[in-house]
Every structure is written in C-alpha cells, then in structure tokens.
Amino acid sequence: MAERHSPQLTAPDSVSIADAAAMLGISRDTLYDWINSGQVAARFDRRDRRVFDGAQFGRVGELLRERQIRRKIRDHLLRRGKTAAAAKKFIYRQRKAGISFEQILTSLTCVPNVPANPVLEC
C-alpha cells in the first residue's frame, strides 16, 4: 500500500485535514465546515489534496475557545428557562451588535466590578 502522505508533496508546515483534525481533537467535518465557511484557510498541494496550513492552528484555537464560551452562554440561558432556539437567537443578536462572547457571558453571570453593557439583558 502506498504512503498516504508523501513528504515531498506536502510542506513540513502543512498537514492533511484528517491529521489536523486529529491533532486538534475535532472532527474532520467540523474542520471542513470552518474551511468552507472561510473561518479557517486551507490550500491544495501538488496532488490537488486539501491541506491545512500549520499557521492556522492558532485560529482554530480561537474558534474552539469561542465555541466553548458559546456553549456556556447557551447552557446558562437554558437554565434560565429559554429554549435552545431562543438562546441561539439571543447569542446571534448580541454578536451582530458587536458584543464579544466574553462580554455576553460576563453580563449573564453578573460578575461584580464589571461595567454593565446597556445592550445586554442581565
């Protein structure tokens, strides 16, 4: 059986999508979704296979952190009695208004000594 990844064809700072997903602990589908939506960049190697640029690992880390915070926000809203759809809509509206995930989470948990944002409901 031929080697799947040939070092001559793929630069050392790039890896296959499957390998990158395994290294990051996410599914290939998630990584492909992020690539197809333009959130993460990928390129094609000489064999016309999509490869993940090593420089993008930092960006994926940001996306994973955002996803984790988004889940905390959603869980908090669900505990307050909102439906999953209402929680998703709330997060979308706040992000559209330019409010960061961290600001949303902070306002919902009502941490003292943090200036309140009038756009957020607390």
Residues of the chain with CATH 1.10.1660.10: 14-62
Residue written as tokens 């994926």?
60
φ, ψ of residue 44 to 5 degrees: the values are -105, 140
What pLDDT is stored for residue 29 in this prediction?
Answer: 93
Q: What is the pLDDT of residues 6-38, one digit of tens each?
A: 344 333 478 888 888 888 888 999 989 988 998
Nearest to 14 by CA among 60, 43, 54: 54
CATH second-level architecture of 14-62? Orthogonal Bundle (1.10)
Q: What is the pLDDT of residues 42-77, one digit of tens each?
A: 888 888 888 888 778 888 888 888 889 999 999 999
Mean pLDDT for the stretch of residues 108-112: 66
Helix (H, G, I), strand (E, B) or coil at 52: strand
CA pair distance 113, 106, nearest whole angstrom: 11
